[in-house]
Amino acid sequence: MSMLNEPRPRRTRLALVLAVVLALTALAACSSSSKSGSSSSSGSPVITMQNTAFNVAGPVKAGATVDIKNNDPFTHTVTSDDGTSFNVSVDGGKTATITAPSKPGTYKFHCNIHSNMHATLIVQ
């Protein structure tokens, strides 16, 4: 009886080790994939929303992809004042992109949800 029971704890320990190895592998895969994901974008976002305000990092090139990051825990929009150049909704904590207008100029924009949020995107 006792000899039959002996392999059990060993198998349990092996299963535990396997589970830990699998978890570590999953973590490693996770962190490496998020690294490659961020390297595909141009780096830090051009437009950041935080504390219900916009921060615009600098001018962008005409037609460029503009990275947007919402650091607030609620949704904002990046909506051009002219109503046609760009408009995107960004959930709290999420990122999004817009395509900069193909025509250089100064583009004012706002958030549709918070009427006090205004900023300007300069397109060169």
Nearest CB to Cu ion, comparing residues 64 and 86: 86
Which residues does 79 contact at the CB level (< 8 Å), separation at least 6? 86, 87, 88, 109, 110, 111, 112
Task: Determine the Cα–Cα distance for residues 8 and 22; give it in Å rounded to an integer.
Answer: 21
| Amino acid making up residue 14 | L
> Of 100, 111, 121, 123, which lies in the binding site for Cu ion, with binding defined by CB under 5 A?
111
Q: How many residues bind Cu ion (CB under 5 A)?
A: 5
Name the minimum Å distance from CB 111 to Cu ion: 3
Stretch of residues binding Cu ion (CB under 5 A), selected from 11-19, 53-61, 96-104, 105-113: 105-113
69 contacts Cu ion (rule: CB under 5 A): no
Residue closer to Cu ion (CB basis): 96 or 111: 111
Residues 30, 113, 120, 122: which binds Cu ion (CB under 5 A)? 113
| 3-state class (DSSP) for residue 72 | coil
**Which span (5-13, 55-63, 75-83, 96-104) binds Cu ion, by CB under 5 A?**
75-83
Helix (H) or strand (E) holding 107: strand 105-110
> Which stretches of the chain bind Cu ion, using CB under 5 A?
76, 111, 113-114, 117
